[in-house]
Amino acid sequence: RSVKASPVKSHAITECYPIRRSSRKTKSLIKKELADEIINAVQSKYEGDLEIVEFKDKGRGVVAKRSFTRGEYVVEYAGDLISWHEAKSRESEYALDTSVGCYMYYFNARNTNYCIDATAESDRLGRLLNHSRRTPNCLTRLVWVPTLDNPNKELPHLVIVAKRDIDQGEELTYDYGDRDKSAVEVHPWLKS
Ligand SMILES: C[S@@+](CC[C@H](N)C(=O)[O-])C[C@H]1O[C@@H](n2cnc3c(N)ncnc32)[C@H](O)[C@@H]1O
């Protein structure tokens, strides 16, 4: 907003009419505000609008306690941010215990391969969203978030956002994206 360049004092306008800010926003401003909202949400770690529900065929899952609009931040896929090298080493350890589920999320950001390992039980809920290939209502997005101790340093985070408008009470799901034939054979639910 170019308050300084305006010949009219801003307080004179706001006293008479509420400024319809949304109609004045440029696309890049809206984009920046959405990005800032996501950064704030990641830093606050707020997850109060979600609840854990036990499903007969999937184990725990996460259900929306309020509605979400398309594109809105839902939750972070929080865990340990590690290199692919470290991830492979941890995976071979996890493979020894068949009771350990799949909580490794591999991705590439700014030309570096990373993995979020959310295998360890924690109070964070992103790790509990189940998979849906056919009808996911969420999707994951990569965001770079400044660290709290050094605002000049950014780290990649995976956030889960609403793919479409979501009603209160819906189970939240996203597509894990694993199309590997042998993985689908071992985990037939990857087709669902
Ligand atoms: C990231 S965890 C999701 C949370 C998990 N349900 C739990 O109770 O901890 C992934 C695991 O959930 C289960 N899962 C995820 N999506 C599923 C689906 N559509 N059908 C059946 N099981 C599913 C599988 O056991 C998978 O290894």
The CATH number for 33's domain is: 2.170.270.10
pLDDT: which is higher, 149 or 22: 149
Torsion of CA 29, 34, 36, 40, to 10 degrees: 160
| Distance of CA 58 from the midpoint of ligand 1 (Å) | 5
| Residue range of the domain that includes 155 | 24-78+122-191
Residue 17 lies in a domain: no
CA 189–ligand 1 middle distance (angstroms)? 9
68 found inside a domain: yes
Q: Report, as an integer, the average pLDDT of 148-170.
A: 96
Number of independent structural domains in the chain: 1
Asked if the structure places residue 51 within a domain, the reply is yes
Q: Whose CA is nearest to atom 22 of ligand 1?
A: 58
Give the residue among 154, 135, 171 at the shortest CA–CA distance from 50. Answer: 171
Does the pLDDT at position 153 exceed 50?
Answer: yes
3-state secondary structure of 86: helix
Alpha-carbon distances, residue 178 vs 24, 83, 104, 175 (angstroms): 42, 19, 11, 8
Atom of ligand 1 nearest to the CA of 102: 27
Residues contacting 172, CB < 8 A, separation 6+: 50, 61, 62, 63, 64, 74, 75, 129, 137, 138, 160, 166
Query: Does some domain include residue 13?
Result: no
User: In this structure, is residue 55 part of a structural domain?
Assistant: yes
- 106 lies in a domain? no
pLDDT band at 3 (very low <50, low <70, confident <90, very high): very low
Task: Look at residue 98 in the predicted model and tell me its pLDDT.
Answer: 87
Q: Which residues pair with 116 in a beta bridge?
A: 81, 105
Q: Give a yes or no: residue 182 inside a domain.
A: yes
Q: Is residue 105 part of a domain?
A: no
Residues having CB within 6 Å of any atom of ligand 1: 57-61, 101-103, 127-128, 130-132, 189, 192
